[in-house]
Structure 1
Amino acid sequence: MRWNLRLTAANRGIWKASELQRMLAERGLVISAGKMSGLWSGQPISVKLADLDVICAVLSCGIEELLIPQPETVIAPLAEEAPRQASGQTSGVTPRAPRGRSLPPA
């Protein structure tokens, strides 16, 4: 996923993070300067769904404008692992019984 807050805000005439921060606070979402900086200029690690609702309401946008899917960045499975998993074979790892306990029934 690519975070697209800055461009979405710019498309609506909001050019400064502090301006968006003020608008969000008016809707009840108070964000610290540090968190706002991360939302504005970076790729945040996490964003609460409730916060996304407020951001979308303030910017009058849909979630699809803020989060852009990038499926091409997902690593494809290795070619040799795909047939083994498809045939139902296991990886060859045998679970060990914890000390003093038996394995569950098979």
Structure 2
Amino acid sequence: MKWNLRLAAANRGIWNASELQRMLAEHGLVISAGKMSGLWSGEPASIKLDDLNIICAVLGCGVEELLIAEPEKVKRVDDAQGEQAATAVSGGPPVVPKRKDGRSLPPT
């Protein structure tokens, strides 16, 4: 996914992060200067859906304008390679879930 906040804001005449930050605060979303900088100039690692909703309301846009799908960047891994990769990453046998009461599960 590509984060497109800066262009979406510019299309509405909002040219700097502090102006958008003020507008968001008027709608109840108070964002620190550091987090606003990350939203404005980079790609956030995560964003709350409620925050995204307020950003869309302030900008008068839809989520599809802020988040642009990039399906060409998704790589397909066949099932055999996926299982091998999962085992290699964990460094051992697959993890077996345990019961909540602490008792072990019967053998398979």
Provide TM-score, normalisation by structure 1.
0.77
Amino acid at match of 1:33: A
- What SS does structure 2 have at the residue aligned with 1:25? helix
Q: Hey, what's the Cα distance between the residues in 2 that align with 1:16 and 1:28?
A: 19
> Which runs of 5 or more structure 2 residues have no equivalent in the other structure?
97-102
Q: How many residues in Structure 1 have an aligned counterpart in Structure 2?
A: 94
Post-superposition offset of 1:95: 6.3
Q: Hey, what's the Cα distance between the residues in 2 that align with 1:46 and 1:59?
A: 19
Task: Describe the superposition over 1:20-45 as per-residue Cα deviations: whole angstroms up to 9, x where unpaired.
Answer: 00000000000000000000000000
Distance 1:29 1:95, change over 3 A: closer
Provide TM-score, normalisation by structure 2.
0.75
> Which runs of 5 or more structure 1 residues have no equivalent in the other structure?
86-90
Runs (4 or more) in structure 1 with deviation over 4 Å come to 93-97
Amino acid at match of 1:59: L
| Map of 2:34 onto structure 1 | 34
Distance 1:104 1:10, change over 3 A: same
Instruction: State the identity as a percent.
Output: 69
- Does residue 50 (structure 1) correspond to residue 50 (structure 2)? The answer is yes
Higher helix proportion (structure 1 or 2): 2
Distance 1:103 1:14, change over 3 A: same
| Map of 1:71 onto structure 2 | 71
CA RMSD, Structure 1 to Structure 2 (Å): 2.7
Rg larger in structure: 1
